[in-house]
Homo-oligomer: A and B are copies of this chain.
Amino acid sequence: MDQQKATNIVKQATLVSRQDRERLHNCRSFTLWFTGLSASGKSTLACRVEKVLHDKGYPTYILDGDNVRHGLNKNLGFSPEDRQENIRRLAEVAKLFRDAGVINLTAFISPYRQERDFARSLSEDDDFIEVFVDCPVEVCEGRDPKGMYTKARQGIIKEFTGISAPYESPESPEIHLHTDSQDIEQCVEQIVRYLIEQKLIPR
């Protein structure tokens, strides 16, 4: 994932730093990286947490299938190579948003450990928080709000994570949620509590 094709690039000195932006925004910037099966609750939780942080006055942004798959990554499909490039680009964009001093929340299945580790490798200190939205595939399939699992079972959607493509669970995520037994409020509270404990946002 690390090849650099463009070599004629010279570093520019900028006049405004990430620290300047964080100071202006009166907050630290970080990434909440939600990972989990389809219908596990990633997007719902990201939206709810964004709302909480926005209401506290912090600059926030969600990167999800809606704005990334339809734009930046529209030329990628769901093959293993394309999935890898999808997550690589996402990780790089999340880094840009951190550098811009914006709290960002990514809501992608991101099924492979190696790719999530790559995303983490772009981060500094404690500004990358992996949120494992854990839910048994049977429960996700039972929810199936978009009819994706049905289509996957019918073979209409190929390489569907949890059905016909693997999901590698995080081994030591910063936050581990169980959306089959916790309700949304409890999950949001657990995330916000973590951010406070880590001094990423004030009490």
A interface residues with partner B (beta carbon < 8 Å)? 2-6, 8-16, 20-21, 24-25, 43, 47-48, 50-51, 54, 57, 59-78, 82, 85, 89, 92-93, 95-97, 99-102, 122, 146, 148, 151, 157
Known A8-B78, A66-B12, A100-B97: A72·B89 in contact at CB below 8 Å? yes
Q: Are A20 and B54 in contact (CB under 8 A)?
A: yes
A24 touches B71 (CB 8 A): no
Q: Does B74 contact A5, Cβ atoms closer than 8 Å?
A: yes
Given A3-B74, A63-B96, A67-B99, 17 extra CB contacts under 8 A: A2-B74, A4-B70, A6-B69, A6-B74, A6-B76, A8-B78, A10-B65, A10-B146, A12-B43, A12-B47, A12-B64, A15-B47, A16-B47, A59-B101, A61-B99, A72-B89, A75-B85
Contact A24 B59, CB 8 Å, known A72-B96, A76-B6: yes
The complex places the Cα of A21 from the Cα of B100 at a distance, in Å, of 15
Q: Across the interface, which residues of B come within 8 angstroms of A57, CB to CB?
A: 24
Q: Considering the chains assembled together, what is the distance between the CA atoms of A43 and B15 in angstroms?
A: 11
How far, in Å, is A21 (CB) from chain B's closest CB? 7
B residues in contact with A97, CB < 8 Å: 100
Q: Give A11's nearest chain B residue, CB to CB.
A: B66
